[in-house]
Chain A
Amino acid sequence: MRRASVLWPGLALACALAPAYADGVAPAREAELVRLVRQDCGSCHGLTLKGGLGPPLAAAALGDKPAAYLKYTILYGRPGTPMPPWRAYLTEADAEWIAARLLEGFPDAR
């Protein structure tokens, strides 16, 4: 709970500023990534990222998982589970951007 209250002002600020993320991803690519995560990751993790056959990816559900772990999972998949490696479609910067956004609460499609 304490964690959430610390995060909220940050989130509100991010929304107010109509996110200008500092990571190495162009704005047009950001829109593509949002769509990819919502729609294509969403087929297993849910459009709202509350989970499906794959685990939930909402910020609260990810808890303390480090961004590097998420990035690695996105790029290389998880052997033994249905999670595929996405490195054929995503660059390191893309995966880093997605991991960072997931941890702070993923943006809606615009």
Chain B
Amino acid sequence: MRANAAVIAAVLLFSAGCAQVELRGSGDLGVIVERSAGRLQVVDTTRQASIGAIAGLGDLSHASVVYSRDGRYAYVFGRDGGLTKVDLLRLRIERRVVQSGNSIGGAISQDGKLVAAANYTPGGVRVFDADTLEMLADIPATYGDGGQRAKVVGIEDAAGSRFAFSLFEAGEIWVADLSVPRAPKIQKFRDIGRQPYDALVTLDGRYYLAGLFGEDGVAMLDLWHPERGVRRVLPGYGKGEQPLPVFKMPHLEGWAMAGHLAFLPAVGRHEVLVVDTLTWREAGRIAVAGQPVFVMAQPDGRQIWVNFALPDNDKVQVIDTETRQVTRTLSPGRAVLHMEFTARGESVWISARDDNRVTVYDTATFERKAELAVEQPSGIFFTVRALRFGF
């Protein structure tokens, strides 16, 4: 009886598998977050279409995603502390844990074996086995006399099973070395500046840069030389003398680089800042239509795409990096939340939350190539992220 049942189950599974899965790679796939529905749309960037949906992921407001190095599994960090591993090929949840009360994002280690989640409540970092989602390390973000815990922001992967992250209330940057995953070694950098709110690592994984909300400037740590400590760069970066109210915090992930120039959102200003990364000094400002949220470079570095906070969040502007001029203003829909380029940048996908739509643009002609109906889309994440530091 039991053997029979097992055979039937196996046959059912097998046939279900056949019906569901075509043999294919994952290099041109991605996911779009449907923030209110707690669901992902899995998309094929070659066919420019959705190939299915995966539901049951909890509260996905401000959700973010990292990928396994084979580009098959997406790890989704939900606001409610949910960490969900989804299989893009079989279109299903592989594993799911609710690992905290309130989470902001995460990172995956250089070797792909560890997934780390940055948490607001309780403030700290938790590290999981990427296969099983078993928790391996719990790093409380304690500060002061040790009784308080800070919200953790800006967690990034660094070479050698390390994760760098910032403590919002404490004004600290920590680097956790998880070479022995169950026994993390923590290096703490104190007094790095008030209220670090987000961070990034440069494309080569060398520099960790944390934006400061509480004061001007950027805290920079050279991950090749942590012994040199955190130094302050871009002294004028921030709100400056007459700040406008900031209606949405700019994101630093995906700091746009073109050659040795970096383009980043000014905080509370209608400007994109140009920074020379050889000297870490400001090299210019470009006036744009509103307060920038994401400032993203096409993979070839030729154009920069910018979206905005309220009330200009129905626009996207394109900047030519050679002339440093705005060359286009697009209207992809109401409440533009995110943009994502295909691996080599022939197209960009843009989400418009309040129009329930994702639009695919040709980056050379600005033609609309496709439109996908997606319920309140926010983040768009393609599997090419699997291959890069800081994504």
Q: Which residues of A line the B interface, CB within 8 A?
A: 35, 38-40, 42-44, 46-48, 50-53, 77, 80, 82, 84-86, 88-89, 109
A8 to chain B, nearest CB (A): 24
Residues of B within 8 A of A38 (CB): 36
Which residues of chain B come closer than 8 Å to A77, judged between CB atoms?
Answer: 245
Chain A residues with CB below 8 A from B258, complex form: none
Contact of A42 with B246 in the complex, beta carbons under 8 Å: no
User: What is the CB-to-nearest-CB distance from B105 to chain A, in angstroms, rounded to a whole number?
Assistant: 11
Residue numbers of B with Cβ under 8 A of A are 35-36, 59-62, 79-80, 101-102, 104, 120-121, 151, 153, 168, 195, 197, 213-214, 245-249, 310-311, 335, 353-354, 376
Contact A53 B153 (CB under 8 A): yes
Residues of A within 8 A of B120 (CB): 51-53
Contacting residues, chain A, for B35 (C-beta < 8 A): 47
B143 CB, nearest partner CB in chain A, Å: 17
Contact for B246 among A40, A52, A82, CB less than 8 A: A82
Query: Please, which residues of chain A bring their CB within 8 A of the CB of B102?
Result: 46, 50-52
Main secondary structure on chain B at its contact with chain A? Answer: loop
- A82 and B310 contacting across the interface, CB-CB below 8 Å: no
- Complex partner residue of B61 from A46, A82, A86, A89, CB under 8 angstroms: A46
Instruction: Tell me which residues across on chain B come within 8 A of A80, comparing CB atoms.
Output: 214
A36 closest partner in B (C-beta): B310
Contact of B79 among A46, A88, A89, A109 (CB under 8 A): A46
- B311 neighbours in A (Cβ, 8 Å): 89
Are A47's CB and B246's CB within 8 A?
no
Number of interchain pairs (Cβ within 8 Å): 67
B86 to chain A, nearest CB (A): 20
Chain B residues with CB under 8 Å of A84's CB are: 245-247
Q: How far is B50's CA from A97's CA once the two chains are assembled, in angstroms?
A: 40
Partner of A44, one of B245, B249, B353: B249
Docked Cα-Cα span, A48 to B59, in Å, equals 8
Contact of A39 among B153, B213, B214, B353 (CB under 8 A): B353
Which residue, A40, A47, A80, A109, has most C-beta atoms of chain B within 10 A? A47
The residue of chain B having its C-beta at the shortest distance from the C-beta of A88 within the complex is: B245
Q: CB-CB < 8 A to B195: which residues of A?
A: 82
Chain B minimum-CB-distance residue to A85: B245
With a cutoff of 8 Å between Cβ atoms, the chain B residues found around residue A43 in the complex are: 61-62, 248-249
Separation of A88 and B79 alpha carbons in the complex (Å): 28
- Whole-angstrom distance between the Cβ of A37 and the nearest chain B Cβ: 12
Residues of chain B within 8 A (CB-CB) of A50 are 59, 79-80, 101-102
Query: Closest CB of chain A to B331's CB: distance in Å?
Result: 19
Closest approach, in angstroms, between the C-beta of B349 and any C-beta of chain A? 20
6 A-B pairs whose Cβ atoms sit less than 8 Å apart in the complex: A40-B248, A47-B35, A48-B59, A48-B79, A52-B104, A85-B245
> Do B79 and A52 touch (CB < 8 A)?
yes
* Contact A47–B249 (Cβ < 8 Å): no
Bound Cα distance A88, B353 (Å): 22
Decide: B59 and A47 in contact? CB cutoff 8 A: yes
* Residues of chain A within 8 A of B60, CB atoms compared: 47
Bound CA–CA A89/B136 (angstroms): 46
Contact A46 B59 (CB under 8 A): yes
A39: chain B residues at CB < 8 Å are 335, 353-354, 376
CA A64 – CA B70 in complex, angstroms? 51
A-B interface, 3 closest residue pairs, ranked by CB to CB distance from nearest = A47-B61, A84-B245, A42-B61
Minimal beta-carbon separation of A62 from chain B (angstroms): 17
B57: min CB distance to chain A, Å: 13
The smallest C-beta distance from B121 to any residue of chain A, in angstroms, reads 7
